[in-house]
C-alpha cells in the first residue's frame, strides 16, 4: 500500500513537473529576454543526406559567428531530420512546432517536402516557415501560403540562361534530358526547355523515379541524334547515373542541372569525375566566383569545417540554408527580436528584406514571398587537382517566371513530366 | 461441430490467450485512452497516441492474419495505401484534383471497398504459398504496387502524390482538429479490435485457426481452406483500409513514400515488437515505434538516431521473441507462480 502511494505521488509529481515545463516554455515566448527557438529541418537520411548535413554546417557557422544571438535575444536551435519523403517531413515539422515549440522552422530540403510544409504552414498562426533548400516552383508560385517564405531561387529560376546558351552558343540542335521524376527536376526541366525550345531546339525526355539505382535502361534509350546530354539528377541518384554513364562509355557533351554540378557530386570519387570536367550548368552558386563576399564565405566555411567532414567548397544546399538563416537573423535584428502579435512585425520585416547573399547577389522577395536574385552560368574546370564549378556569365535579378508575364507563365501550366515547357514558337 | 470447435479452442487457450482477461482489460484500456487527452499535451494526443492508433490498425491487420491464420503478409501497408489513394483521387479539394467532387460520405466506403478488394486479390494471388514464399509474394506485390503508383502520373501523380486531402467534417468539426482526429481514430480502432475478437470466435474464425494448425485436417473435414484464406485476407484488407484512410487524413494527403518498402517494414517491426499472439500487440508495438521514431533524435546523436531505434527493436526481439506481449505474459506467469497454493490453471 505504501509503495502504491509513493508511486502515485511520484506520478503526480512527474505530471506536475511536466505541466510546469510545458507552460514554462510557452509563457515567456513573448518576453524579450527568453531565447528564440528555431527548428532546423533537413534530410540527414536518404538520397540527400550529404546536402542536409551541409545545410546544417552552414547555418551553424553563421549562428556561431553571431554568438547565437539576434535582435538582442539568444537563439536556441532544435534540429530534426527527414528522409526526403513528404509525410516524414510533415511529422517532423509537427513535432518541432507542437512539441518543441519553435518560433520558426528553417527547412525543408527537397521539393515534395516543401509543398507539404507549405500546406502545413497554412494551418499555423504565429509561426513562420522559411524554406531551406527545396526548389519546386509551385511551392510559392501557385496557391502560396502567407507564412511560408523562400529566400532561395527555385528550380526553374536556376536554369535561366542555360537553354539559350546550349542552343545559341554551343549550337546544339537536339538534346536528351535525363531527369528525376518529381517536382524539383520538373521545375528545372521546365526552365531549361522554355528557353531551349523557344530558340528552336528539340528534346527527348527520359524520367526515372527518385532513388533509382540502375540506369542502364535509361542510358540505352538516349537517342543517337542527341548532340548533348542534359542531366538533372542530384544526390546519390546523380552519382549513380553518372557512374553508370561513364562505365557505359558515354561521351556526349554534358549539361548539368543545378544540383548536378555541385560539390556533393564533385567530391565523390569515381569514374564520373573524368566525364564531368567541361560540363556546363546553371544555378545560384559556383565554387569559384570572383566576388569578395563569396571568397570570404568559402574561406570561413573551409576554416570551420575542413577538418570536420566539410566539402572543398559549400554545396548548393549549404548555400540555400545559409541564405535562409541570413534572412531570419536580419529580420530578427530589424524587429529587435520581437515576435509578438503572431509574428506580424517579423513577417513584415522578412517580406521587405533586401540583402546580398553569400554569392554577392541581391535578394528580395516578390508578392508571393519568393526570392528574386541572380543566376550564374558555370563550367566545371580542374582547379589545383580538384574539379570545381567556375562562373562565366550572370543573369541579373531573375524572377520566378523567367521574365515572362506572370499570367502568361501561369497559363503554361504547372511543370510536370507531361508539361516540360518545351513549346516551339517558330 | 461443437467437439471440433472445442478442440480448436483448447488450442487457443494453450497459446496463452486467456479470454476471461481480455474483455475487462480491453475496456479498461479504452477508458484510459478516452480520458488521456485531458491530461497530456495536444501534441501527444495527435502525434503520438493518434499516430500510434493509426499505425496500430494497419499492424493489427497483419497480426490478425499472422496470429489466427498463420499468414505473414507484407502487403498490408500497400493495401492501406489503396484505400488512401482511392479517397485522395475522388474527394474534392485534393491537389491535384484527379477525379474530384465525390463527397467523403461516398469516397470513404469506396476506399474501404477498394482496400477489401485489394486484400482479396492479394489473398487469391498468394493462396498457394506458405511461409517464406508467402512473405516473398506479398512483398513483391507491395513493392510492385508502390513502384506502379510512383511512376503513374495520370492517376496517382507519381512521386509527389496527392496533397490537401483534409478529411471529412465530423459532427460539424473539421478533421484537422486534434481531438476529432484522435477520437475518430480511437473509435475506429476499438470497433475493429472488437471485430477481430468477435470474428476469431465465429465458426469462420475457428476454421481459420484450424487452417493455421493443420490445413489437411481442415480440408478433410470438408472446409474449403483456400476460400477461407482469401476471405481472411479480405477482412485484413478492410481493417488495413481504415488505417490507410486515417493515415491519409492525418498526413493531409498521400505519396508513394507512405506505402514504400520502408513503411512496409515499419509495419512488420510494429507487429513483431508488439507481439504476434493477440491483436492488442499491434497497438503496443505501434506505440513503442512511434515514441522512438519521434524522440530518438532528441535522445541520441541526430545523425545516427536510426541506430538507436534499430538497437532497441533488436533488444526487444532478442529478449522476447514474441515481443512485448511475450514479456508481459512471462511476467504474469511469474507473478502467478509466487502464491504456490493456487493450482496451475491451463494445462500446457
| Chain B CB contacts of A91 below 8 Å | 47, 51, 294
SS3 B162: strand
SS3 A176: strand
Residue B1 has pLDDT above 70, yes or no: no
CA distances (Å), origin A84, targets A52, A92, A262, B78: 10, 11, 19, 20
Q: Residue B220 belongs to a domain with what CATH number?
A: 1.10.3470
Among A45, A119, A180, the residue with its CB nearest the CB of B163 is: A119
| Ranges under pLDDT 70 in chain A | 1-32, 424-426
Rounded Cα–Cα distance for residues B271 and B284 (Å):
9
Residue range of the domain that includes B115: 2-336
CA-closest candidate to residue B345, choices B4, B94, B19: B19
Residue B347 lies in a domain: no
CB B203 within 8 A of CB B67: no
Backbone angles phi, psi at A389, to 5 degrees: -85, 135
CA distances (Å), origin A366, targets A42, A317, B136: 25, 22, 52
Domains identified in chain A and CATH numbers: 13-153+292-374 (3.40.50.2300), 157-289+375-411 (3.40.50.2300)
| Chain B CB contacts of A79 below 8 Å | 297, 302
Instruction: Let me know the angle formed at the C-alpha of B166 by B160 and B168, rounded to the nearest 5 degrees.
Output: 140
Complex ipTM more than 0.85, yes or no: no
Between β-strands A73-82 and A36-43, what pairing exists: parallel, antiparallel or unpaired? parallel
SS3 B98: coil
Query: CA of A382, closest CA in chain B: separation in Å?
Result: 32
CA-closest candidate to residue A109, choices A281, A389, A324: A324
Residue B348 lies in a domain: no
Query: CA of B48, closest CA in chain A: separation in Å?
Result: 10
| Chain B CB contacts of A417 below 8 Å | 153, 158
What distance separates the 2 farthest-apart alpha carbons in chain A? 90
B95·A417 Cβ contact <8 A: no
Report chain B's mean pLDDT, rounded to a whole number: 87
Residue B212 lies in a domain: yes
**Contacting B residues, span 271-330, partner chain A, CB-CB under 8 Å:** 294, 297, 302-303, 305-306
Higher pLDDT, B341 or B247: B247
CB A85 within 8 A of CB A109: no
A53·B303 Cβ contact <8 A: yes
For residue A412 the three cell numbers come to 503554361
A143·B95 Cβ contact <8 A: yes
Higher pLDDT, B252 or A343: A343
Tell me, what's the pLDDT at B302?
62
For residue B340 the three cell numbers come to 504456490
CA distances (Å), origin B64, targets A402, B68, B278: 56, 6, 8
* pLDDT confidence band for B303 (50 / 70 / 90): low
- pLDDT one-digit tens code per residue, B204-226: 999 999 999 999 999 999 999 99
Residue B344 lies in a domain: no
Among B158, B253, B294, the residue with its CB nearest the CB of A182 is: B158
Grid coordinates 489473398 are at which residue?
Answer: B123
- pLDDT one-digit tens code per residue, A396-418: 999 999 988 999 899 988 888 88
Contact with chain B for residue A87, Cβ under 8 A? yes
**What average pLDDT does range B15-41 have in this prediction?**
81
Between β-strands A128-130 and A104-106, what pairing exists: parallel, antiparallel or unpaired? parallel
Residue from A40, A112, A113 to probe the interface with B (highest B Cβ count within 10 Å): A112
Query: CA of A105, closest CA in chain B: separation in Å?
Result: 17
Grid coordinates 474449403 are at which residue?
Answer: B224
Chain A residue nearest residue B301, CA to CA: A79
CB A314 within 8 A of CB A54: yes
For residue A58 the three cell numbers come to 552552414
CB B282 within 8 A of CB B63: yes
**What average pLDDT does range B116-123 have in this prediction?**
97
Contact with chain A for residue B39, Cβ under 8 A? yes
Tell me, what's the pLDDT at A17?
46
| Chain B CB contacts of A55 below 8 Å | none
Residue B301 lies in a domain: yes
Tell me, what's the pLDDT at B146?
94
Chain A residue nearest residue B160, CA to CA: A112
B251·A44 Cβ contact <8 A: no
Contact with chain B for residue A187, Cβ under 8 A? no
CB B193 within 8 A of CB B90: no
Half-sphere exposure of B81 (CA within 13 A, CB side): 29
Chain B residue nearest residue A101, CA to CA: B43
Tell me, what's the pLDDT at B308?
82
CB count within 10 Å of CB A351 equals 15
Among B43, B251, B258, the residue with its CB nearest the CB of A98 is: B43
For the CA atoms of B205, B206, B208, B212, the dihedral, rounded to the nearest 10 degrees, stands at 140
Contact with chain B for residue A183, Cβ under 8 A? yes
Query: What's the total number of domains in chain B?
Result: 1
Q: Name the β-bridge partners of A82.
A: A43
CB A144 within 8 A of CB A114: no
CB count within 10 Å of CB A22 equals 15
Residue B229 lies in a domain: yes
Amino acid at each position: 500500500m505504501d509503495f502504491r502511494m509513493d508511486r502515485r505521488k511520484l506520478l503526480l509529481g512527474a505530471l506536475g513537473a511536466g505541466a510546469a515545463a510545458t507552460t514554462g516554455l510557452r509563457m515567456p515566448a513573448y518576453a524579450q529576454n527568453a531565447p528564440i527557438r528555431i527548428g532546423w529541418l533537413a534530410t540527414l537520411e536518404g538520397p540527400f543526406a550529404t546536402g542536409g548535413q551541409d545545410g546544417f554546417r552552414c547555418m551553424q557557422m553563421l549562428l556561431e559567428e553571431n554568438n547565437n544571438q539576434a535582435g538582442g535575444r539568444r537563439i536556441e536551435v532544435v534540429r530534426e531530420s527527414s528522409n526526403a519523403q513528404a509525410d516524414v517531413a510533415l511529422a517532423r515539422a509537427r513535432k518541432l512546432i507542437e512539441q518543441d515549440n519553435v518560433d520558426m522552422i528553417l527547412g525543408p530540403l527537397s521539393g515534395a517536402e516543401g509543398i507539404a510544409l507549405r500546406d502545413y504552414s497554412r494551418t499555423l498562426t504565429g509561426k513562420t516557415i522559411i524554406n531551406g533548400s527545396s526548389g519546386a516552383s509551385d511551392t510559392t508560385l501557385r496557391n502560396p501560403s502567407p507564412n511560408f517564405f523562400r529566400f532561395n531561387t527555385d528550380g526553374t529560376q536556376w536554369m535561366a540562361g542555360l537553354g539559350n546558351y546550349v542552343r545559341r552558343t554551343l549550337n546544339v540542335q537536339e538534346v536528351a534530358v535525363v531527369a528525376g521524376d518529381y517536382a524539383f527536376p520538373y521545375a528545372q526541366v521546365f526552365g531549361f526547355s522554355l528557353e531551349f525550345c523557344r530558340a528552336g531546339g528539340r528534346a527527348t525526355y527520359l524520367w526515372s523515379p527518385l532513388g533509382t539505382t540502375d540506369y542502364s535502361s535509361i542510358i540505352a534509350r538516349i537517342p543517337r541524334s542527341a548532340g548533348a546530354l542534359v542531366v538533372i539528377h542530384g544526390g546519390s541518384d546523380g552519382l549513380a547515373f553518372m557512374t553508370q554513364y561513364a562505365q557505359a562509355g558515354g561521351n556526349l557533351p554534358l549539361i548539368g542541372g543545378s544540383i548536378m554540378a555541385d560539390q556533393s557530386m564533385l567530391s565523390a570519387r569515381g569514374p564520373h569525375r573524368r566525364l564531368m570536367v567541361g560540363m556546363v550548368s546553371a544555378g545560384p552558386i559556383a565554387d569559384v566566383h570572383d566576388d569578395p563576399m563569396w571568397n570570404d564565405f568559402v574561406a570561413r566555411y573551409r576554416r570551420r569545417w575542413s577538418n570536420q567532414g566539410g566539402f572543398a567548397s559549400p554545396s548548393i544546399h549549404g548555400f540555400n540554408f545559409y541564405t535562409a538563416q541570413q534572412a531570419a537573423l536580419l529580420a530578427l535584428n530589424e524587429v529587435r527580436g520581437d515576435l509578438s502579435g503572431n509574428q506580424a512585425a517579423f513577417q513584415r520585416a522578412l517580406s521587405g528584406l533586401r540583402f546580398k547573399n553569400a554569392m554577392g547577389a541581391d535578394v528580395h522577395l516578390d508578392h508571393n514571398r519568393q526570392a528574386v536574385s541572380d543566376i550564374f552560368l558555370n563550367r566545371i574546370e580542374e582547379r589545383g587537382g580538384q574539379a570545381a564549378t567556375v562562373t562565366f556569365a550572370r543573369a541579373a535579378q531573375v524572377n520566378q517566371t523567367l521574365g515572362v508575364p506572370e499570367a502568361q507563365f501561369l497559363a503554361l501550366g504547372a511543370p510536370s513530366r507531361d508539361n516540360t515547357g518545351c513549346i516551339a514558337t517558330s | 461441430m461443437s467437439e471440433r470447435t472445442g478442440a480448436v479452442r483448447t488450442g487457443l487457450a494453450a497459446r496463452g490467450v486467456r479470454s476471461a482477461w481480455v474483455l475487462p482489460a480491453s475496456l479498461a484500456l479504452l477508458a484510459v485512452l478516452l480520458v488521456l487527452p485531458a491530461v497530456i499535451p495536444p501534441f501527444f494526443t495527435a502525434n503520438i497516441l493518434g499516430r500510434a492508433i493509426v499505425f496500430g490498425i494497419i499492424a493489427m491487420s497483419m497480426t490478425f492474419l499472422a496470429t489466427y491464420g498463420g499468414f505473414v503478409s507484407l502487403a498490408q501497408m500497400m493495401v492501406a495505401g489503396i484505400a488512401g489513394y482511392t479517397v485522395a483521387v475522388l474527394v474534392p479539394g485534393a491537389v491535384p484534383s484527379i477525379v474530384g467532387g465525390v463527397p467523403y460520405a461516398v469516397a470513404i466506403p469506396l476506399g474501404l471497398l477498394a482496400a477489401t478488394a485489394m486484400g482479396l486479390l492479394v489473398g487469391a494471388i498468394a493462396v498457394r504459398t506458405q511461409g517464406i514464399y508467402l512473405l516473398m509474394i506479398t512483398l513483391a506485390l507491395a513493392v510492385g504496387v508502390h513502384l506502379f503508383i510512383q511512376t503513374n502520373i495520370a492517376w496517382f501523380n507519381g512521386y509527389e502524390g496527392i496533397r490537401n486531402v483534409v478529411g471529412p467534417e465530423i459532427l460539424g468539426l473539421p478533421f484537422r482538429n486534434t481531438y476529432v482526429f484522435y477520437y475518430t481514430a480511437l473509435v475506429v480502432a476499438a470497433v475493429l479490435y472488437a471485430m477481430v475478437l468477435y470474428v476469431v470466435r465465429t465458426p469462420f474464425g475457428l476454421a481459420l485457426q484450424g487452417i493455421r494448425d493443420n490445413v489437411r485436417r481442415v480440408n478433410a473435414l470438408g472446409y474449403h481452406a483456400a476460400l477461407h484464406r482469401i476471405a481472411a485476407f479480405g477482412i485484413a484488407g478492410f481493417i488495413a483500409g481504415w488505417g490507410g484512410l486515417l493515415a491519409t487524413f492525418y498526413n493531409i494527403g498521400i505519396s508513394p513514400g507512405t506505402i514504400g518498402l520502408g513503411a512496409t517494414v515499419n509495419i512488420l517491426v510494429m507487429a513483431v515488437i508488439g507481439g504476434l499472439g493477440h491483436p492488442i500487440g499491434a497497438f503496443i508495438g505501434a506505440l513503442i515505434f512511434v515514441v522512438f521514431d519521434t524522440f530518438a533524435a532528441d535522445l541520441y546523436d541526430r545523425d545516427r538516431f536510426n541506430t538507436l531505434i534499430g538497437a532497441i527493436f533488436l533488444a526487444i526481439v532478442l529478449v522476447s521473441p514474441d515481443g512485448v506481449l511475450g514479456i508481459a505474459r512471462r511476467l504474469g506467469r511469474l507473478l502467478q507462480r509466487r502464491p504456490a497454493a493456487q493450482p496451475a490453471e491451463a494445462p500446457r
